[in-house]
Amino acid sequence: MTKIHAKADSPGVEGRYSTYVKQMIDLIGPKHLRLVAGRGMTKTTDVIADRSIEVCYDMPRSLQAFVSDTFVNARTNIVPTLIEGWREYKGWIEGKHYVVDERPPSFFGIPYKPVTAFKNTITVFNGCTFLIGSLDQPSGLAGNSFQHVYGDEAKYLNKKKLDVIMPALRGYNKFAHSPYYRGTTFTTDLPNLTKNDYDWILDAEKQMDLEQIKTCLAAGMVLNEINHDIYRAYIKKDNAALIKAKKRRELWKVRWVKARKESTFFYVVSSLANVDMLTPGYIYDALKNLGWEEFKQSVLSFKSSLEDGDKFYIGLDKEHFYKDGLDETYLRSSGIKDQDTTNNSQMLRHIDHNAPLDVGIDFGKMISLSIGQHQGDTYRILKFMFVLAPDSSKEIAEKFILFFYPHQDKRIKMYYDRSGNQYESSGRSWAQEIKNHLELTETNSRTGWTVELMSREQGNILQSEEYFFMKQITQGTNPDLPKLQIDFYQCRELKSSMESTKLIQKKDTRTGHTIIHKDKSSESLPLHKLPMHSTNPSDSAKYLLMRKDWVKTSRRDRIEIFTSLEGI
């Protein structure tokens, strides 16, 4: 696959291997790209990384923006992956081709629009500048003038908030020549409506002019063949053929650019498009590890078929997840490289630092923590944490202490499964072990935290009872239970777990009654799949919420309902 941006020591072409999907994108070169692709399709490291380089070459000294749902996600996932693509696959070197969070070197080009603050920016050697923005505070980007906007994981981007930013796609006529001017690039895997993902990217199918895209592709293919001719003439040192081919290239570049103006390319593709690199073994392993439903969604890009009636947490809806949980002002005060020092509880907007914390824990090869506070008539789950084996009690305690070190009230109420106590007689207790690690350092000095174990002598929580309790608290049918609110971003694993947990109905052979169960088969998935695809995180929320007094309230409400029905 030949590329068309010039290199100083070559005839102006560059050869690279890529999938047919990536080749189509390069040959079409649309103004607006909407790519929905399965796992392993290198959407950020290849597609966005390479396309952003092309945009930089085509619009030097331009101002561009990367949009994420939150600064935390941008800093920890999207920007590092983008830079990995530049560094590992495109050959860019930090300090030579780009700098992050700092004033660019004197030999870098100067952007048309002066940049005075360099936190949360990436500057490129030819004067292009990328601003990193968050939809939690879209007004922070809306006041600028951008020439191109990028967004990965589009299924997490709120379209209404994104629309606030889009008028900022304006700027200088100096870039009017470029098909990328005022363009956009959005990629994602397939949105899952059962998890309340945003699916606006799928609307781009209707916005695409298929005939125009065919014309762009045809012109791009001709231009690509000319690049091959140039390369062959260069290798053979045939100057006459080289000059002739370069003249033809200039003619077809004009035609190609003209065809691409105001174009939109929408494409949905499965991971199988990259099977040569992923290998068939990856596909087979993905099917085995993910299960059929998740495999269809994440690998094959087929829409999920989990219906409301199949959900264990049947009342859970988008209204239970709040998206303003991060203090963006606090996060904006630091840069991309400062995330290790700013990733703490100070960034939580709705936390009460002067009140104790509740912690729900699920033990096992994945230890899950759901951390919340009861605030008036609302219960907020503020943060979800986990560790995977071989990490255990010590590591999850250290993770908690590191994140919540700014918290003023150091009291913890811990709720957990009765298995956390069941080994006490033999000298080991999961719950006591974590309590000790939270309260004492390795040298037995006090950490300042005190833990109250709330689940001693607690009975087993039946799955059917959990179903009816969660139905009451999510549907709001019991006024004696609080309103449930879960942080959309800080509890992403918990959200995924609760939204994808299936209900199983089994018949009791003794009584003939139908009994409701939670499908726990996902807990046999490979270790690294458990956080997003198993029921483990949801169990930690179960223990957090199903405390003794609330369970009694739930039971009383159910008894009253059944009694009133019997009297009808």
206-216 pLDDT tens trace: 999 999 999 99
| Burial (0-12, 13-18, 19+ Cβ within 10 Å), 278 | buried
- Has residue 418 got a pLDDT over 80? no
Q: Of 205, 199, 210, whose CA–CA distance to 268 is shortest? A: 205
pLDDT given for residue 426 in this prediction? 41
Contacts of 48 (CB under 8 A, 6+ apart): 82, 85, 150, 152, 185, 187
Alpha helix segments (H runs only) across 440-547? 463-475, 492-500, 530-533, 536-545
Mean pLDDT score, 463-478: 91
pLDDT given for residue 512 in this prediction? 63
- Residue pair 95/105 in contact by the 8 Å Cβ criterion: yes
Q: What is the mean pLDDT of the chain?
A: 86
0.75 cut: is pTM over it?
no
> Can you list the domains of the chain with their CATH numbers?
1-30+210-262 (no CATH), 32-199 (3.40.50.300), 279-304 (no CATH), 309-564 (no CATH)
Taking each helix axis from N to C end, the angle separating 463-475 and 548-566, rounded to the nearest 10 degrees, works out to: 90
In the structure, what pLDDT confidence band is assigned to residue 16 with cuts at 50, 70 and 90?
Answer: low
176-187 pLDDT, tens digit each: 899 999 999 999
pLDDT given for residue 243 in this prediction? 93
CA distances from 156 to 18, 91, 137, 386, 531 (A): 27, 30, 15, 22, 18
Mean pLDDT score, 426-443: 84
pLDDT given for residue 397 in this prediction? 96
Of 172 and 451, the one with more pLDDT: 451
- Residue pair 299/192 in contact by the 8 Å Cβ criterion: no
Q: Of 121, 93, 95, 91, whose CA–CA distance to 108 is shortest? A: 95
Task: Identify the top-confidence range among 160-169, 195-204, 395-404.
Answer: 395-404
- Has residue 138 got a pLDDT over 90? no
Give the amino acid at 107: F
